[in-house]
A = this chain, B = another copy of it.
Amino acid sequence: MTDASKRYQLRTAVAQDIPHILGLMREMAEFEKLTDIFKATEASLHNSFFGAQPAAHCLVGHTEDEPGLPVAYIMWFHNYSSFLDKRGLYLEDVYIQPAHRGNGLGKMVLKHLARLAIELDCGRFEWTVLDWNQNAIDFYKHHGAEILPEWRIVRVTGDAMRQLAE
């Protein structure tokens, strides 16, 4: 492969990437039909990634010939397993623009994060998938992941959270 527009690199996000990241996040929210809960702004992202107590780590993927134009973003944070008594690496989001799929960037992201998890002495590398997204499930299984069939996420938010707190 000699076309630099199809060769990719990953790097830590910097402040100048934030408008691009926000645009990619909006594309993903539209795909997932979650625009109703979308609240991120440039200022809030800046605080989450570069504030005094960062809430998440952000990487971007770009083509070799346009390093300033992210075509993918990745966010992760540390979770924790009590029984292993170790941190884990939790992948919150990975989004690759449709025009850049099928060229190995997704695999590059998974391998990069697995290496990072090992470097950071994490016991696990985890994320979630929608149970109807069979393409994604097949891709993850092909790369050594297991899908936990029995666990369900439980969530309290908004008014229900305020009522519970009363």
A106 is an interface residue with CB less than 8 A from chain B? no
* Distance, CA A78 to CA B90, complexed state (A): 11
* Distance, CA A150 to CA B38, complexed state (A): 19
Q: Which residue of B lies closest to A110 (CB)?
A: B164
* Distance, CA A11 to CA B160, complexed state (A): 24
Binary per-residue interface labels of chain A (138-166) against chain B in the complex, 1 for a CB within 8 Å, 0 otherwise = 00100111111111111111001111111
Q: Are B151's CB and A115's CB within 8 A?
A: no
12 contacts between A and B (CB under 8 A): A56-B80, A111-B164, A114-B162, A114-B164, A124-B156, A125-B164, A144-B160, A144-B164, A145-B155, A146-B160, A148-B152, A151-B152
Most buried by B among A80, A90, A131, A163: A80
Most buried by B among A44, A55, A92, A127: A55
Binary per-residue interface labels of chain A (82-119) against chain B in the complex, 1 for a CB within 8 Å, 0 otherwise = 11111100101100000000000000001100110110
Which one of B39, B110, B132, B154 contacts A145 once the chains associate, using CB atoms below 8 Å? B154
The copy count of this chain in the complex is 2
**Which residues of chain A have a CB within 8 Å of any CB of chain B?**
25, 29, 34, 37-41, 44-45, 48, 55-56, 75, 77-87, 90, 92-93, 110-111, 114-115, 117-118, 123-132, 137, 140, 143-157, 160-166
